[in-house]
């Protein structure tokens, strides 16, 4: 049976489009502190601001599949440091510590070509990512700064949804932005548990990428590849078959 045409592609970010680990620099803390000072509602000592930035950086990622209450977490840290009057807006605080991608990291090889292939092929591209503090607006600004903003139709993060992949709410939100049923959508990501398996359960075609890590011994994905260029070629031809059932 000929698979239906593909209208949209859902794309993981960390480990798929850019490095899974943010390449920390000795200057990052200074930049985060300066960004926090810029949004402060009142004067505050630089020592307190640096401590806030450090505490936020130390927060571990919530468990995959579970709830994520990022703004509540930020508010708790701000209040514990006695800075509630200085930083009354938790979303502004978490956005301030999200340094822009441009100038701090490079997309993985082939990522720009993949996004441009989707755009040029009339395929809507939606980012779908588990993050600590980044929301959809921050991601869209990141890719705009990387010169790829016109390739995206939207973004969904665990911060926006309040749950982390593979929770179904994340994929429901992404499919809503994609504007198509699951069988006309492809999920591209580097995680079997967070990307491939939940997408297959919904009836999407799936591509497991292994750019930063070795290819898995086994995968339920329709295609496994270590090259984002391969994914770009799939977008042009889409000879990948839909999942059975």
Same domain, 60 and 78: yes
pLDDT of 125 over the 90 cut: yes
Helix locations, the chain, DSSP H: 28-39, 46-58, 70-80, 90-96, 111-120, 136-145, 158-161, 168-178, 197-201, 228-237
Number of compact structural domains in the chain? 2
Cα–Cα distance, 60 to 137 (Å, whole number): 22
Nearest to 228 by CA among 104, 116, 100: 116
pLDDT of 222 over the 50 cut: yes
The per-residue pLDDT for range 143-181, each reduced to its tens digit, is 999 999 999 999 999 999 999 999 999 999 999 999 999
The residues that bridge with 205 in the sheet, in sequence order, are 186
The residues that bridge with 128 in the sheet, in sequence order, are 156
The per-residue pLDDT for range 27-75, each reduced to its tens digit, is 999 999 999 999 999 888 999 999 999 999 999 999 999 999 999 999 9
Q: What CATH number should be reported for the domain holding residue 168? A: 3.40.50.1000
Same domain, 172 and 126: yes
Same domain, 88 and 181: no
pLDDT of 9 over the 80 cut: yes
Residue pair 134/107 in contact by the 8 Å Cβ criterion: no
Same domain, 17 and 81: no
Same domain, 222 and 148: yes
The per-residue pLDDT for range 90-124, each reduced to its tens digit, is 999 999 999 999 999 999 999 999 999 999 989 99
The helix/strand/coil state of 189 is strand
Residue 113: which domain range? 8-21+105-237
Same domain, 40 and 150: no
- Within a domain: residue 243? no
Same domain, 41 and 119: no
pLDDT of 239 over the 50 cut: no
pTM, entire model:
0.93
Same domain, 131 and 77: no
pLDDT of 82 over the 60 cut: yes
Q: Tell whether omega for the bond before 166 is within 30 degrees of 0, i.e. cis.
A: yes
Cα–Cα distance, 230 to 245 (Å, whole number): 26
Q: What is the pLDDT of residue 244?
A: 46
């Amino acid at each position: 049976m000929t698979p239906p045409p593909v209208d949209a592609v859902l794309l993981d970010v960390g480990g798929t489009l850019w490095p899974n680990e943010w390449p920390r620099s000795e200057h990052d803390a200074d930049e985060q502190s300066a960004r926090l000072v810029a949004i402060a509602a009142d004067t505050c000592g630089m020592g307190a601001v640096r401590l806030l930035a450090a505490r936020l950086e130390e927060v571990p990622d919530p468990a995959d599949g579970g709830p994520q209450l990022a703004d509540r977490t930020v508010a708790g840290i701000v209040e514990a440091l006695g800075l509630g009057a200085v930083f009354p807006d938790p979303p502004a605080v978490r956005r301030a510590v999200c340094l822009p991608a441009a100038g701090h990291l490079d997309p993985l090889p082939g990522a720009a070509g993949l996004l441009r292939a989707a755009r040029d092929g009339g395929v809507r591209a939606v980012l779908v990512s588990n993050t600590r503090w980044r929301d959809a607006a921050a991601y869209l600004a990141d890719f705009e700064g990387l010169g790829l903003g016109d390739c995206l139709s939207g973004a969904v993060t665990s911060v926006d949804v309040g749950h982390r992949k593979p929770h179904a709410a994340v994929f429901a939100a992404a499919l809503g932005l994609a504007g198509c049923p699951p069988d006309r959508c492809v999920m591209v990501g580097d995680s079997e548990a967070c990307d491939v398996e939940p997408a297959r359960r919904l009836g999407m075609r799936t591509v497991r990428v292994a750019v930063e890590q070795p290819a898995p011994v086994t995968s339920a994905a329709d295609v496994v590849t270590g090259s984002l260029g391969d994914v770009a070629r799939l977008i042009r031809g889409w000879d990948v078959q839909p999942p059975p059932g």
